[in-house]
């Protein structure tokens, strides 16, 4: 028979067949043209067995084995990782581990550690507790260090200034999602922002100023969903006073506790605004009781926490709340230096269709003027246009004033410090040291790949690749940070490209090449590329609310993960005798050398330490009695269903199979 004809029959190339034949025990020569007809059936049978064995090995490679001796190693490999610093607040640690706070506190109590949910524990304690709960703790990464460095740098810059002028208080509004933070700001500034927000949840950071009793108050509007924790935290760092909004009909919720942690960490004086007092089921006293249970005692109960009942919807208690803010601000004695060059923090940046790159800066010292030279991170430039929060052009901005800067060539990162440089020579030197570079206006960038495609396929990790396009840099940052927190075993998310603006043809082509999903956040559909989307069969997902995006991605991860098969080793047996062999099974006997054999167990047949076949137990006997279990040291007779390849001297392993 021609070698090429046999290769076609086996559905492989001629070269592959000639290469494979020696491995199967057929020496026909590397350049053979014909094969003896008598060998053909044997070669076909050997090829089928080889293919079956390869498929069997591949199937086994997808199985997670749990063996007594390797249990510690296996457990270590399966530990979920969390990253913390020298200390961590108990509530924050529970959030990182995605566990109820009560469960974590219970584990702490078991170990004799009595702390409240808002108290800190050190790194060593956190490591011990986390390992008991199935987590591996890693010391804080560079990003956390950089955030601390920025904060220290800002404090250092502000410390050297002479604070001689009174400044308006900067107020940050925090609390749980849908407890009415945006409605409160709406009531304060007599606008209607909430109706413009998708799902009633604030998506972008903004800053607003209001006047009461001829005095200015600046409000930072921080987003409500937990995905914006990083930006809320930055809001805490630049505020003077915090308002904690708690719904009277809902009480303290997870984001409420998270906001309290940030407020306490930043040592901010705060006022609790008990909102929705007009709602059915509102219970002001219950909220105060819940506050007292976490060591926040209301003034009316002899404590120091100011509680102000309000209804943002009915505009009740708003004037009283503003008076309380001024009172707290006066007690703090807020002052700043408004004379020198400006220092501030970037609280929002995005690309506007008509204005290009735009950033909002909150001035913390000095006065920012049109024409000022500035540097912020790796972005440098000259102020061309300034606008206040109402969109009106202004020529300067004093401390506590939020102002939009126009005329930028690159978007500065949120949370970065802005410095005005008055000396041209110093400005040029700082420019060189910052490794300053300009990028394209669309702000598109690709994430660095930390793994090669080859590494990606190891350890059976399923990867969901994403291309993210958003209208605001702050939202893109929050989405990326939130995606990292989604944990689905044996899966990972890889952002292969991210950028601002509409989804383009290039995005579709990249998605096709990398088999990625394209996510559009707060951007309109580009109808001009619909034909290309259909042609390339690329999935485009549009979202306006971030938690819906996260829910969708988590669902997709669970779908691609599938079920994991686990084989838990129960025992081993050495085959001493073969009693009967049939086409689909055997009856054999042997001695249990390790663990036990159970009637419900499955069988692995090992030859030369390699698994050759898997089967099932039909019947289990010992001393001619039918049993459900035979333990180590005893002999057993087994009726086995499967491939009849067992021989005397083989090792048989018994295991339980489960799926998760």
CATH code for the domain in which residue 390 is found: 2.40.30.10
* Assigned token pair, 273: 């605004």
Pick from 350, 367, 400, 339: nearest CA to 209: 400
The CATH number of the domain holding residue 273 is 3.40.50.300
The residues near 416 (Cβ < 8 Å, ≥ 6 apart) are: 150, 345, 346, 376, 377, 379
Pick from 188, 191, 179, 276: nearest CA to 226: 179
- Confidence (pLDDT) at 523: 87
Measured over the CA atoms of residue 349, residue 236, residue 552 and residue 140, the dihedral's sign is positive
**Is pLDDT of 147 > 70?**
no
Burial track 436-454 (b if 16+ CB lie within 10 A, e otherwise): eeeeeeebbeeeeeeeeee
369 against 416, higher pLDDT: 369
- Confidence (pLDDT) at 115: 74
Q: 């790796």: which residue's tokens?
A: 378
- What DSSP letter does each residue of 469-486 carry, written as one string? EESBHHHHHHHHHHHHH-
Annotated binding site: 175-182, 221-225, 275-278
DSSP H helices in 515-597:
530-536, 546-561
Q: Using one digit for the tens of pLDDT, what is the confidence trace for 351-402? A: 665 676 788 889 988 999 998 888 887 677 788 889 988 888 999 999 999 9
Annotated binding site for GTP: 175-182, 221-225, 275-278
Residue 361 in any domain: the answer is yes
Largest Cα span, the chain: 106
CA-CA distance, 355 to 377, in Å (whole number)? 22
Q: Does one domain contain both 388 and 421?
A: yes
Distance from the Cα of residue 466 to its chain's centroid: 14
Residue 521 in any domain: the answer is yes
Q: Does one domain contain both 327 and 192?
A: yes
Q: What is the share, in percent, of the chain residues with pLDDT greater than 90? A: 23
**Is pLDDT of 164 > 50?**
yes
Residue 556 in any domain: the answer is no
Q: Does one domain contain both 619 and 503?
A: no
Bridge partners, residue 220, by sequence? 172, 207
SS3 369: strand
Residue 554 in any domain: the answer is no
* Domain end point (choices 405, 433, 461): 433
CA of 339: how far to CAs of 39, 282, 330, 405, in Å? 97, 48, 22, 20
What HEC string does 87-134 produce?
EEEHHHHHHHHCCCHHHHHHHHHHCCCCCCCCCEEEHHHHHHHHHHCC
The CATH number of the domain holding residue 461 is 3.40.50.10050
* Assigned token pair, 10: 């086996």
Residue 205 in any domain: the answer is yes
Q: Does one domain contain both 308 and 365?
A: no
Q: Does one domain contain both 590 and 622?
A: yes
* Domain end point (choices 284, 302, 333): 333
* Domain end point (choices 281, 305, 333): 333
Residue 152 in any domain: the answer is no
* Assigned token pair, 81: 């990782």
Mean pLDDT of the 613-639 span: 92
- What DSSP letter does each residue of 237-302 carry, written as one string? HH-SEEEEEEETTT---HHHHHHHHHHHHTT--EEEEEE-TTSTT--HHHHHHHHHHTT--BGGGT
Contact predicate 518/541, CB 8 Å:
yes
Q: Does one domain contain both 308 and 399?
A: no
72 against 32, higher pLDDT: 32
CA trace torsion 218, 221, 222, 223 (10° rounding):
180
Contact predicate 83/47, CB 8 Å:
no
Pick from 654, 617, 616, 624: nearest CA to 638: 617
Contact predicate 110/165, CB 8 Å:
no
- Confidence (pLDDT) at 563: 64
CA-CA distance, 623 to 317, in Å (whole number)? 86
- Residue 453's pLDDT band (cuts 50, 70, 90): very low
Pick from 426, 184, 499: nearest CA to 320: 184
**Is pLDDT of 230 > 60?**
no
Q: Does one domain contain both 459 and 421?
A: no
- Confidence (pLDDT) at 113: 79
Mean pLDDT, the chain, whole residue set: 80
Q: Does one domain contain both 197 and 225?
A: yes
Distance from the Cα of residue 226 to its chain's centroid: 11
CA-CA distance, 536 to 530, in Å (whole number)? 10
Please give the residue range of the domain that contains residue 588: 565-659
Overall number of domains in the chain? 6
CA of 443: how far to CAs of 41, 346, 409, 424, 432, in Å? 64, 17, 10, 28, 22
SS3 295: coil
- Confidence (pLDDT) at 152: 62
Q: Look up residue 195 and give its DSSP letter.
A: G
Q: Does one domain contain both 318 and 223?
A: yes
Q: Does one domain contain both 257 and 173?
A: yes
* Assigned token pair, 3: 């070698």
Q: What is the share, in percent, of the chain residues with pLDDT greater than 70? A: 81
- Confidence (pLDDT) at 546: 76
Q: Does one domain contain both 354 and 317?
A: no
Half-sphere exposure of 42 (CA within 13 A, CB side): 10
**Is pLDDT of 265 > 50?**
yes
- Confidence (pLDDT) at 498: 81
Q: What number of other Cβ atoms are within 10 A of residue 91's Cβ?
A: 21
Q: Look up residue 447 and give its DSSP letter.
A: P
- Confidence (pLDDT) at 572: 94
Q: Which of 26-30, 66-70, 399-403 has the lowest mean pLDDT?
A: 66-70
The residues near 158 (Cβ < 8 Å, ≥ 6 apart) are: 343, 364, 365
CA-CA distance, 114 to 282, in Å (whole number)? 33
Q: Does one domain contain both 194 and 278?
A: yes
Pick from 200, 196, 238, 199: nearest CA to 219: 238
Residue 348 in any domain: the answer is yes
- Residue 638's pLDDT band (cuts 50, 70, 90): very high
Contact predicate 231/273, CB 8 Å:
no
Residue 223 in any domain: the answer is yes
**Is pLDDT of 159 > 60?**
yes
Q: Look up residue 175 and give its DSSP letter.
A: E
Q: Look up residue 271 and give its DSSP letter.
A: E
């Amino acid at each position: 028979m021609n070698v090429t004809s046999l290769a076609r029959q086996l559905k492989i190339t001629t070269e592959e067949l000639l290469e494979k034949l020696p491995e199967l025990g057929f020496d026909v020569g590397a350049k053979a043209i014909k094969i003896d007809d008598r060998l053909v059936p044997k070669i076909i049978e050997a090829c089928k067995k080889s293919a079956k064995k390869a498929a069997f090995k591949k199937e086994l490679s997808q199985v997670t084995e749990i063996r007594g001796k390797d249990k510690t190693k296996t457990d270590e490999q399966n530990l979920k990782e969390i990253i913390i610093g020298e200390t961590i607040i108990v509530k924050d640690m529970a959030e990182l581990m995605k566990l109820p706070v009560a469960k974590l506190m219970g584990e702490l109590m078991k170990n004799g550690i009595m702390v409240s949910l808002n108290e800190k524990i050190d790194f060593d304690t956190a490591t011990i507790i986390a390992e008991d709960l199935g987590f591996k703790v890693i010391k804080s990464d560079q990003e956390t260090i950089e955030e601390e460095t920025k904060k220290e740098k800002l404090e250092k810059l502000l410390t050297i200034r002479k604070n001689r002028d009174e400044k308006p208080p900067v107020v940050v509004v925090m609390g749980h999602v849908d407890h009415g933070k945006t409605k409160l700001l709406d009531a304060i500034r007599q606008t209607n922002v909430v109706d413009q927000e998708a799902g009633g949840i604030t998506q972008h950071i903004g800053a607003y100023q209001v006047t009461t009793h001829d005095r200015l108050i600046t409000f930072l509007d921080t987003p409500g969903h937990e995905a914006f924790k990083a930006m809320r935290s930055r809001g805490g760092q630049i505020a003077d006073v915090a308002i904690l909004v708690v719904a009277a009909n809902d009480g303290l919720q997870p984001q409420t506790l998270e906001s309290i942690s940030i407020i306490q960490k930043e040592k901010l004086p705060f006022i609790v605004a008990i909102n929705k007092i007009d709602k059915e089921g509102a219970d002001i006293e219950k909220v105060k009781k819940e506050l007292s249970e976490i060591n926040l005692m209301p003034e009316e109960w002899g404590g120091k926490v100011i509680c102000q009942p309000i209804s943002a919807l009915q505009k009740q208690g708003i004037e009283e709340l503003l008076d309380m803010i001024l009172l707290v601000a006066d007690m703090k004695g807020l002052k700043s230096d408004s004379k020198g060059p400006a220092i501030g923090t970037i609280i929002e940046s995005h690309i506007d269709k008509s204005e290009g790159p735009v950033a909002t800066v909150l001035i913390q010292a000095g006065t920012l003027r049109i024409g000022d030279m500035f540097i912020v991170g790796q972005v440098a430039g000259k102020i061309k246009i300034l606008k206040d929060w109402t969109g009106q052009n202004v020529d300067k901005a004093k401390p506590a004033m939020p102002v939009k800067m126009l005329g930028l060539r690159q978007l500065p990162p949120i949370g970065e410090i802005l410095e005005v440089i008055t000396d041209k020579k110093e400005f040029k030197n700082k420019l060189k040291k910052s490794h300053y570079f300009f990028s394209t206006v669309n702000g598109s960038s690709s994430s660095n790949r930390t793994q090669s495609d080859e590494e990606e396929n190891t350890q059976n990790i399923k990867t969901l690749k994403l291309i993210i396009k958003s209208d605001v840099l702050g939202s893109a940052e929050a989405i990326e940070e939130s995606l990292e927190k989604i944990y689905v075993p044996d899966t990972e998310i890889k952002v292969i490209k991210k950028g601002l603006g509409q989804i383009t043809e290039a995005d579709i082509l990249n998605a096709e090449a990398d088999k990625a999903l394209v996510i559009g956040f707060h951007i309109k559909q580009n109808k001009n590329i619909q034909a290309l989307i259909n042609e390339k069969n690329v999935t485009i997902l549009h979202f306006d609310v971030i938690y819906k995006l996260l829910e969708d991605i988590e669902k997709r991860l669970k779908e691609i993960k599938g079920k994991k098969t686990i084989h838990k080793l129960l025992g081993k047996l050495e085959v001493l005798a073969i009693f009967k062999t049939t086409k689909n099974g055997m009856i054999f006997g042997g001695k249990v050398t390790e663990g036990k054999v159970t009637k419900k167990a499955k069988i692995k047949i090992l030859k030369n330490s390699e698994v050759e076949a898997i089967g099932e137990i039909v019947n289990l006997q010992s001393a001619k009695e039918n049993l459900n279990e035979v333990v180590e040291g005893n002999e057993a007779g087994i009726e086995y269903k499967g491939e009849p390849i067992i021989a005397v001297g083989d090792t048989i392993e018994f295991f339980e199979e489960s799926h998760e």
